[in-house]
Amino acid sequence: MLELRPFVRLALLGLLLPAASAYAQTVRAAVRTASAVPAVTMTLSAKPAELLSLVRTRYGINPDPNVIADLGEGDHAEVRRGAFPKTSPISRALFSPGEPVAVKIPYLDPGGMMAHEADVSRRLAAAGGSEIFVRAAHDAELGVLVMESLERYKTLDEWAEGRRAIAPRTLERIASQLKRGLAVLEAAGLVHSDLKPENILIGPRGRIKIVDFGISADRSGYPPYPEYHGWRGGHHDFVSANQLSNGPAAYEDDRHAVRAVLRRLRYRAATAASRARK
């Protein structure tokens, strides 16, 4: 393959960006149309204080419903740091007493997304994915998802933005781990459906962890679980044409997303290298 100097690659990207921008606008419009499903959201202050108190008793989280979640929040859930207790309905084969954990607390979970995420995590581990996919289990008594703590990890975007340069060997290592993740997903018969930099975390030694199995589904199937009502897509920058048309889950959805993630990361590496030479 012909190797282009970084400044030549950037020049070519400059020529292609207007067309790419137009395509991105088309994709965003399609996403808005395809995902025109009313979102159900609640404010943090509306989270039942009783449940937070129960979760605090078991996992040691901050129970104040008015405090912003300390590890993250989304439209339907928040994540708080805690510790795995001595007594829990979750098997000690997954977590040890006292081990730091992240507890995902849903605002509303009528369709059982927490149980679904735990089941996906179990299937991925059985397919050999324990090293690259987050460990997670469902505490059915409280209705929360308990996950391994990844506080030393950053999202792929955060990690890339904080670096002055990204070595080719590092890019290769990230690409290799993501390809391994695709192989595990396919071995488990699953499609993640929402692979994007926010759901790909990287640790201090370059170790990748993939998270968020909320809309993961069996290949050729959808919805991910019977009560789910929503569209097939993830972030508009990473969805496939199949997802835009709400087609059944396909392995190509994840392959497309990984190609898009790596393309974005390689572009950032090229721009960082160009800045370093100035």
**In sequence order, what DSSP letters do the residues of 32-81 get, joined into one string?**
HHHT--------GGGS-HHHHHHHHHHH-----TTSPPSSEE-SSEEEEE
CATH no. of 6-34+152-277: 1.10.510.10
pLDDT in tens, 182-216: 999 999 999 999 999 999 999 988 999 999 998 99
**What pLDDT is attached to residue 222?**
80
Q: Structural domain boundaries of the chain?
A: 6-34+152-277, 44-148
Fold match between domain 6-34+152-277 and domain 44-148: no
Cis peptide before 89 (omega within 30 of 0): no
pLDDT, one tens digit per residue, over 111-166 is 688 999 999 999 999 999 999 999 999 999 999 999 999 989 999 999 998 788 88
pLDDT in the model for residue 1:
40
DSSP string, the chain: -PPPPHHHHHHHHHHHHHHHHHHHHHHHHHHHHHT--------GGGS-HHHHHHHHHHH-----TTSPPSSEE-SSEEEEEEE--SS-SS-TTT--TT-EEEEEEES--TT-HHHHHHHHHHHHHHTT-TTTB--EEEETTTTEEEEE--TT-EEHHHHHHT-S---HHHHHHHHHHHHHHHHHHHHTTEE----SGGGEEE-TTS-EEE---TT-EETT--SSSTT--S-S---TTT--HHHHTTPPP-HHHHHHHHHHHHHHHHHHHHHHHHHHH-
In tens, the pLDDT along 68-84 reads: 667 877 767 889 999 99
Q: What is the pTM of this model?
A: 0.79
Report whether pLDDT(32) > 50: no
Residue range 44-148 in CATH 3.40.50.620: no
